[in-house]
Amino acid sequence: MVAIVGQGESISRSFYYNENKVGEGVAKLIQAQNYPRDSQDLTQNMRLGMLTKLAALNTRTQVNSLHISLNFDPNEVFSEAKLSEIAASYMDKIGFGNQPYLVYQHFDAGHPHVHIVTTNIQANSKAINLNLIGALRSEPARKEIEIAYGLTKAEDQKSVDYELKSAFSSRAQYGKSESRKAIANVLNSVLKTYKFGSLAEFNAVLGLYNVKADRGSENSRTYKKHGLVYHILNAEGMPIGVPIKASLFYNKPTLKDLESRFPANELAKDKQKSKVRNAINSVFQKTDGISLNQFVGELKKVGIDVVLRENSDGIIYGITYVDHKNKCVFNGRPLGPDYSAKAILERCNQTNFSALTTQISMENSNKQQPGYAGNAHLYAPPFHKNRHDPVPSEKDLLEELWQVEMGADGLPYELKGRKKKRKKRKMNT
């Protein structure tokens, strides 16, 4: 079991995150502990009201909310009653057994998990100390519960042999759900679970789920201001709809935030490089004269998606490997010269990429690709062409779209009213 503890200054933010999931049909409230009524008899206002009233008793404590997720191995499927029991045991062990809290079972990931929302302000207006709660209380509680319920230990979960399942319940689709929510769902999962060392590697994962992080062209206002926006992509990998600024999302996935993650992610990824190399080598050793399509398919079987980047002329210039099992993303060249796009194409004897594209398009024209919206477990297409990611030396394909920055309301920056500067009054002397 993996326990993730989050602290915040807004109970309503954590509360509505889970309630919105319930509204979308990907979560369910299974327990309202220490409330005066059973969960089924509580309205949404009642559930939130009890927590906010407690928080209001102590206005000096700014951090007054706790948002916890308990995550289980994919093979550990429990009933609602068992999940509630485990959640109650955990909350009791970390000192929140007498606090009112809400337990939500989520279905939007490839593993069973619950979210718990509560406040650290007690009925006597005193705050429960949250200092080092993760290391001093959550970790011991997690280990005790793993033993008591025979759960897979967090330290051993990566070595467990299980069927690879996606971290997402559906790909973001423009027009199918509110764009901001759809993008946020993908971002939350990617940022929490994947290690990437560059914006290109970050986009390799996002692109599998119809989302792109974009700086715009070098001449755009967004690029010059070190900004970042997010798009939903259509079936051809092109942006559609109005881009949404990174600062408008709850977790603030700005370019500055992403860049701060890169160094630590690179260190964490380094230990997994040999596993990806071995997987690639194994594919070529197992089959002689393998095609690029077969190469991509074989890697997918062991949980590695291949993202190919091509320019507007259909020439592949880059390759990225998304290791879903170890949650790491690698561009080909840093893995070594034998794993770059050029080397892989040569090893696959691939010289006519356009023919390959036509062949795969014909293969898929009469059948629906597994993994699109509505499928519980996602699988990427046979290979992913990132047409919207042009070669740096070429003209940006989106230049015209990015000459004017678009805000979340769709109004160009230049058309927004500007406040007049107030003239300072001169003091009589």
The pLDDT-based confidence of 34 (bands split at 50, 70, 90) is very high
Q: Does 171 reside within a domain?
A: no
Between CA 164 and CA 301 the distance in angstroms is: 9
> What pLDDT, on the 0 to 100 scale, is given for residue 228?
94
Does pLDDT of 162 surpass 80? no
Least reliable range by pLDDT among 116-125, 205-214, 274-283, 400-409: 400-409
Does pLDDT of 271 surpass 70? yes
With both helix axes pointing from N to C terminus, report the angle between 179-193 and 199-208 in degrees, rounded to the nearest 10. 120
> What pLDDT, on the 0 to 100 scale, is given for residue 156?
67
Q: Which domain holds residue 277?
A: 273-385
> What pLDDT, on the 0 to 100 scale, is given for residue 55?
93
336 and 251 assigned to the same domain: no
Q: What is the pLDDT of residues 104-161, one digit of tens each?
A: 998 877 678 899 999 999 999 999 999 889 889 999 999 999 999 998 888 766 533 3
Q: Does 27 reside within a domain?
A: yes
Least reliable range by pLDDT among 149-163, 298-312, 342-356: 149-163
> What pLDDT, on the 0 to 100 scale, is given for residue 425?
58
**Order of all β-strands in the sheet with 211-214:** 211-214, 229-233, 239-245
155 and 28 assigned to the same domain: yes
> What pLDDT, on the 0 to 100 scale, is given for residue 31?
93
Between 171 and 343, residue with greater pLDDT: 343
Does pLDDT of 92 surpass 90? yes
The per-residue pLDDT of the chain, averaged, comes to 78
Q: Does 345 reside within a domain?
A: yes
8 A C-beta contact, residue 115 and residue 104: yes
Q: Does 426 reside within a domain?
A: no
225 and 291 assigned to the same domain: no
What's the average model confidence in pLDDT over 275-298?
88
Does pLDDT of 417 surpass 50? no
363 and 318 assigned to the same domain: yes
202 and 240 assigned to the same domain: yes
Its sign, for the CA torsion 293, 298, 300, 306, is negative
Between 72 and 362, residue with greater pLDDT: 72
CATH code assigned at 76:
3.30.930
8 A C-beta contact, residue 92 and residue 103: no
User: Pick from 66, 403, 35, 101: which is nearest to 224 by CA?
Assistant: 403
Between CA 403 and CA 412 the distance in angstroms is: 10
> What pLDDT, on the 0 to 100 scale, is given for residue 365?
40
The pLDDT-based confidence of 376 (bands split at 50, 70, 90) is very low
17 and 145 assigned to the same domain: yes
User: Pick from 86, 209, 194, 63: which is nearest to 149 by CA?
Assistant: 86
> What pLDDT, on the 0 to 100 scale, is given for residue 289?
77
- Residue type at position 215: R
User: Pick from 81, 69, 123: which is nearest to 100 by CA?
Assistant: 123
Does pLDDT of 164 surpass 50? no
The total number of structural domains in the chain stands at: 3
256 and 284 assigned to the same domain: no
> What pLDDT, on the 0 to 100 scale, is given for residue 178?
67
Between 116 and 317, residue with greater pLDDT: 116
202 and 138 assigned to the same domain: no
258 and 398 assigned to the same domain: yes
Share of the chain above pLDDT 90, in %: 39
The pLDDT-based confidence of 349 (bands split at 50, 70, 90) is confident
Q: Does 170 reside within a domain?
A: no
8 A C-beta contact, residue 93 and residue 140: yes
Q: Does 174 reside within a domain?
A: no
Q: Does 167 reside within a domain?
A: no
367 and 398 assigned to the same domain: no
What's the average model confidence in pLDDT over 347-353?
66
Q: Does 412 reside within a domain?
A: no
114 and 55 assigned to the same domain: yes
In order, the DSSP letters of 379-429 are ---SSEE-TTS--TTSPPTTTGGGSS-B-TTS-BGGGS--PPPPPPPPPP-
Between 382 and 81, residue with greater pLDDT: 81
Between 235 and 375, residue with greater pLDDT: 235
101 and 52 assigned to the same domain: yes
C-alpha pair distances (Å), 339 with each of 3, 166, 272, 346, 383? 36, 25, 15, 10, 16
- Residue type at position 77: V
> What pLDDT, on the 0 to 100 scale, is given for residue 77?
82
Q: What is the pLDDT of residues 184-240, one digit of tens each?
A: 888 888 888 899 999 999 999 998 888 999 998 888 899 999 999 998 888 778 888
Cα radius of gyration rounded to whole Å, the chain: 24
